[in-house]
């Protein structure tokens, strides 16, 4: 299983450089925002976007090159194939969160005149919760349908790049409203551990379902 995870990590280095620059730009933009809610939305969005982009690329590469068919022709346990995907996705989420955290805090530390808040650890936690919950739903379909998910992946790829525009429009719409004020007053640390624990449990349940589906799948 370790070798399968390493394969995914190596493939992740080939992700579209434009996507990387784009999300780094979004994270840097967070440091220029005067509104605290907007700052942290940008940070959370940047972590989720780059993680989705990496996973889409890695899974897309496997699909285009019939990697699963090749792996299933080798003496490799199918369960390990499933577990490696779940492990890789979690690693991508944590790694990208750490990189974004370091990036924004270095800018805050060394660039003069930056007034915005750098990324906080709870931004990473919320991002991981979102990513785990999303892929808890996604992977059972992925391991059931395989290449049947290609169209969905293409739609998700497009959505990733239009998401900032959607969020910006929604932010302007709700700016100055009671809803935005109430959100800004929420303490993100309250219940964070519980939500994170629940997302991990759901992720493990999803892993169990995916293993059963993949073992029944024919190649």
Listed by start position, the domains of the chain span: 1-216
Q: What is the pLDDT of residue 176?
A: 58
pLDDT tens string, the chain, 219 residues long: the values are: 788 888 888 888 887 777 788 888 888 887 877 666 778 888 898 899 899 989 988 888 877 777 777 777 777 888 999 999 999 999 999 999 999 999 999 988 887 677 778 888 889 999 999 999 999 999 999 998 876 777 787 888 788 777 777 766 666 665 656 655 555 555 666 668 888 999 999 999 999 999 999 888 776
Q: What is the pLDDT of residue 211?
A: 93
Q: What is the pLDDT of residue 173?
A: 65
Residue 164: both structure tokens together: 């900032």
Helical pair 78-110 and 17-30, crossing angle rounded to 10 deg:
50
Residue 168: both structure tokens together: 């910006």
Q: What is the pLDDT of residue 181?
A: 57
CB 192 within 8 A of CB 125: yes
Q: Assign residue 113 a region: left if phi > 0, alpha if psi is -120 to 50, beta otherwise?
A: left
H helical segments located in the chain: 2-12, 17-30, 36-64, 67-72, 78-110, 121-145, 150-174, 178-184, 192-216
């Amino acid at each position: 299983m370790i070798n399968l995870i390493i394969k995914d990590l190596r493939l992740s280095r080939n992700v579209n450089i434009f996507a990387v620059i784009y999300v780094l730009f979004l994270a840097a933009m967070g440091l220029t925002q005067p509104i605290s809610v907007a700052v942290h939305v940008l940070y959370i969005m940047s972590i989720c976007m780059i993680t989705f982009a990496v996973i889409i690329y890695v899974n897309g590469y496997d699909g285009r090159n019939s990697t699963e068919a090749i792996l299933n022709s080798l003496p490799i346990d199918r369960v390990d194939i499933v577990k490696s995907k779940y492990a890789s996705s979690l690693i991508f989420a944590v790694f990208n969160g750490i990189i974004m955290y370091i990036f924004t805090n270095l800018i805050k530390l060394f660039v003069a005149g930056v007034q915005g808040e750098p990324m906080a650890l709870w931004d990473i936690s919320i991002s991981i919760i979102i990513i785990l919950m999303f892929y808890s739903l996604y992977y059972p379909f992925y391991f059931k349908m395989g290449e049947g998910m290609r169209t969905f992946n293409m739609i998700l790829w497009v959505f990733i790049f239009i998401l900032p525009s959607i969020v910006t429009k929604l932010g302007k719409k709700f700016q100055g409203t009671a809803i935005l004020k109430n959100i800004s007053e929420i303490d993100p640390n309250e219940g964070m551990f519980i939500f994170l624990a629940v997302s991990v449990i759901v992720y493990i349940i999803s892993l169990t379902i995916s293993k059963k589906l993949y073992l029944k799948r024919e190649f």
